Amino acid sequence: MTTRIFAPHRREVLAGLGASLGASAAGLIAGGAGPSVTAQLSLQARPATLALRPGQPATPIWELAAVSHLRDVRLKRGDRCEVVFRNDLPVPLAPVWYGRNAATDPLRGRAPAAPDRTETSIISISSAGTLLADFRLFEGGLKQPARPLPIIAEETSRLAVDRDEVLLIEEWRLRPDGTAVPPGQDPKDTTPLYTVNGKTSFELSAAAHERLRLRFINGSQRTVLAIKLESHEVRIMALDGQPAEPFPARNGAVVLAPGARADAFVDTAMSAPFLLHNGKEARQVGSLAISGKLERVPLLPPPPLPSNNLPDQLDLKGALRFDVALGAADAGWTRPANFSTASAPAFRAKTGRTVVLALKNPAPLTTVFHLHGHPFRLLDKLDDGWKPYWLDTLAIEPGQTQRVAFAATSPGRWLLESVVTDWAAPRLVRWYGVE
């Protein structure tokens, strides 16, 4: 399949989104000759309900569900996975994978799946980590808020943990009648409500002295959230699907931008609440229930997670540098429904170059930036080093500029996302090229 440049009419706008969102960023590869398939995944976009109000009728929602798996979707690094996607919703959709960066997959002309259609594709799982698939870039056409799907790409070697648990945090805006407002629409007369793994009160049971791997995911579409497990040290092991140099979460709280993920190790000591803070107030959203004797048995600090072979060093001195004003109307940002690669790119880079972006937030509210195609380093304020972790999502405070750097290793056309942390704010996109 060859790379296409899209004309800016609606059918090819959708094709462009399906490519850069569901194919290019996800690493979709058309069927044909190649290595054998080692895993299978059946996905379905479908209507559902969620019990958000005790004693009241369930709330209608949409969801991306893995009908091939009874619990979590677990693949392995190195898998070549056949993905069958069935769209049983009344709008064209394609799952968008976050955290899986294809090595050599340029923009392709694959449209999102029409209603009542089934499509099959092949993806390669080149890295281990916590991934997320959802429909956020099609949210302008959603009639109901849609639940995302966590996807785990496991390491090839066994890790010294007793349990590996996903904690998907979601935000809902409920009307008085119990219906929910999708993101991007006016939330007037609604009440915010938060769930963990679909429950308004989540309980995680564990034995004393276990080492838990907790994969925290902020499934909210607009709100920066902090989650804290009281009376425990929470050691961050990975961020946005990439291993980090292990470090303790400040005050035990994991702060996550919308769509961000954090893998943390926790050595269980006692029963404790999970507290969630949305920037205005803290609330209990669940608890850790410990059984067995509580005498403290110290465990050795965990070693770093296995590397995903990202570069150890970035050439900041010789880097290409670009200023990117997030969401600025005169800078080429547009809603996904109007996206076309016929528009001017935010920047272009040659394969192998280091790219430094100065991300400027001119908005009066925090803005969330997401980079498709490449994880990036958050640079120190003096631009002379970087934080000891990789990211693909970053929240930038009003009027601030943050600098990030990445190695342009994946040729193709890739998306940039920008969204203000306001429920009614539109999600905006641009694209950049690696040649």
DSSP letter string over 345-380?
A: PS-EE-TT-EEEEEEE--SSS-EEEEESS--EEEEP
Give kind and range of the element (H or E) at residue 205: strand 202-207
CATH topology (fold) of 320-434: Immunoglobulin-like (2.60.40)
- Please tell me the predicted confidence (pLDDT) of residue 104: 36
Q: Please state, as a whole number, how many other Cβ atoms lie within 10 Å of the Cβ of residue 342.
A: 13
Mean residue pLDDT of the chain comes to 89
Q: Which residue has the higher pLDDT, 101 or 166?
A: 166
Q: What is the pLDDT of residue 281?
A: 92
The whole-number pLDDT of residue 296 equals 65
**Closest listed residue to residue 421, CA positions, set 128, 184, 79, 197:** 184
Intra-chain end-to-end CA distance of the chain, in Å = 17
Provide the pLDDT for residue 109: 52
CB atoms within 10 A of CB 179: 15
Whether pLDDT at 216 is above 80: yes
Positive/negative CA dihedral, 318, 432, 418, 73:
negative
**Phi, psi dihedrals of residue 89, rounded to the nearest 5°:** -115, 160
Distances (CA, A) of 312 to 77, 331, 372, 407: 20, 33, 20, 10
User: Given pLDDT bands bounded at 50, 70 and 90, which one contains residue 27?
Assistant: very low
CATH architecture of 163-291: Sandwich (2.60)
Q: Which residue intervals of the chain bear CATH 2.60.40.420?
A: 163-291, 320-434
**Cα–Cα–Cα angle for 279, 284, 285, nearest 5°?**
95
Percentage of residues of the chain with pLDDT beyond 90: 79
Whole-angstrom Cα distance, residue 320 to residue 346? 13
- Cα 336 to Cα 417: distance, rounded to the nearest angstrom: 9
φ, ψ for residue 107, nearest 5 deg:
-60, 135
Q: What is the mean pLDDT of residues 381-393?
A: 89
Find the mean pLDDT for residues 112-132.
94
Looking at the predicted structure, is the pLDDT value of residue 305 above 80? yes
Task: Assign 12 to helix, strand or coil.
Answer: helix
Q: Which CATH architecture has domain 10-131?
A: Sandwich (2.60)
Is residue 340's pLDDT more than 60? Answer: yes
In this predicted structure, what is the pLDDT of residue 106? 32
What amino acid is encoded at 429 in this protein? V
Q: What is the per-residue pLDDT for 18?
A: 40
Q: How far apart are alpha carbons 248 and 146 in whole angstroms?
A: 33
Burial of residue 190 (number of CB atoms within 10 Å: 0-12, 13-18, 19+): middle
Q: Are 417 and 428 in contact (CB under 8 A)?
A: yes
110 vs 6, more confident: 110
Asked if residue 220 lies in contact with residue 171, where contact means CB atoms within 8 angstroms, the answer is yes
Phi, psi of 19 (to 5 degrees): -75, -60
Single pTM value for the model: 0.90
Residue (of 219, 402, 388) closest to 305 by Cα position = 388
Whether the pLDDT of residue 326 is over 80: the answer is yes
Question: Which neighbouring-strand residues pair with 165?
Answer: 214
Mean pLDDT over 287-304 rounds to 84
**CA 259, 140, 100, 40 torsion-angle sign:** positive
pLDDT at res. 202: 96
**DSSP designation for 304:** P
Pick from 251-255, 299-303, 401-405: least confident: 299-303
